Amino acid sequence: MAAARRVLRWVVAAAAAVAAALALDNGLARTPPMGWLHWERFLCGTDCAADPHRCVSEQLFVEMADRMVAEGWRDAGYEFICIDDCWMAPTRDKQGRLRADPKRFPGGIRKLADYVHSKGLKLGIYSDVGNKTCAGFPGSYDHYDLDAQTFASWGVDLLKFDGCNSDSLELLAEGYRRMSLALNKTGRSIVYSCEWPFYLRPVQQPNYTEIKQYCNHWRNFYDVYDSWSSIKSILDWTALHQDTIVKIAGPGGWNDPDMLVIGNFGLSWDQSVTQMAMWAIMAAPLFMSNDLRHISPEAKGLLQNKEVIAINQDPLGKQGYQLVKDKNFQLWERPLSGRAYAVAVLNHQEIGGPQNFTFFLTFLGNGLACNPACSVRQVLPASRDWGLYSWISSLSVEVNPTGTVLLKVQAL
């Protein structure tokens, strides 16, 4: 096991410089992007007469932008307000351009973008590589340049580009490449969020080196749901494929495990802590999908936790990985700048009470994380200093069922 850990760390370190050199050269997403995205919470609600507060509309995004500023989300780092599927009119206009649904977005996207920008935020929008979006609205196939120009003219700052309704894998790949080039040609800084590898994986292994040359972040796995089983499946998939995906992540290009669903209905407090902690360990984009108009103080405090966000946004830009899986426990680490490590201890058990997991500090950082000594600070579920330890020390961590304890280990 120790040899395997050393090999993994060597591969991660050796690949980092190569991955950075091959990243999409648009100067964006040097740390994982942060923001709010409507999909998981609001889906494809289009009946504003029957359900005005949950309808995908101009009003929804204006209200979320107002909350992001007034309630400290922008100051915490969440800068994007992102529109997902179902914003469009059913057809393009006479010039072949995409257009927003005129009833739900009466001012159009340009007006909404201006409002979002006036709040010190950025606007994201959605389209699809195929003929139609996943919800059946007009896709960008054969309109890549025109759509990129349209988005740029509206003042869009991020494009989420889905992969439904493409006729072949060749057309899928060509579409993702062409939209990347088209966005760059506009001259506007637009973060490019892809789902390319997810749609390839049922048939062939993605070429992540190529994908990172075109995309700023990319989805690998199924959509997140508001449930523990969904969070657990994402973590299990990530650990299973970490030898392939960890080494490619870094400034300019990130693996995207999908939205944060903290503050909704399906996660317990411990499970919410686990999602926040593990998304920080995975250097994941942090896009919340919740209702910021109705969120508990506890969920807000967790999502705005400065120490967790600092780990997620660490400028070294290395994704974390699973070191040990021992019965119900998993031990993960993430290298940070300044000779520090983030460490997560996750308890998968779904019965009984808190359990203890003990490990030696020599496990961490290939033996260097606490050499000759280190300080240990607990970040989640509550912050507190654990004190000083030596290289030969062990740590015993008590973790609730389905919970995670997130630590920061600083070499001295």
Q: Which one from 162, 256, 258, 291 is the annotated catalytic residue?
A: 162
Give the up-direction half-sphere exposure of residue 389: CA atoms within 13 A in the CB hemisphere. 25
Amino acid (1-letter code) at residue 332 = W
Q: Which one from 66, 114, 145, 223 is the annotated catalytic residue?
A: 223
Q: Is 128 a catalytic residue?
A: no
Whole-angstrom distance, CA of residue 164 vs CA of residue 270 = 34
Cis peptide before 381 (omega within 30 of 0): yes
Estimate to the nearest angstrom the gap between the alpha carbon of 305 and the chain centroid.
16
Tokens of 211: 């994908």
Tokens of 42: 């609001």
Q: Is 243 a catalytic residue?
A: no
164 sits in the region (left: phi over 0; alpha: psi -120 to 50; else beta) called beta
Amino acid (1-letter code) at residue 306 = K
Amino acid (1-letter code) at residue 106 = P
SS (H, E, C) 320-338: CEEEEEECCEEEEEEEECC
Tokens of 352: 């009984």
DSSP class of residue 55 equals S
193, burial (CB in 10 Å: exposed 0-12, middle 13-18, buried 19+)? buried
Tokens of 135: 């919800």
3-state secondary structure of 360: strand
- Active site members: 162, 223
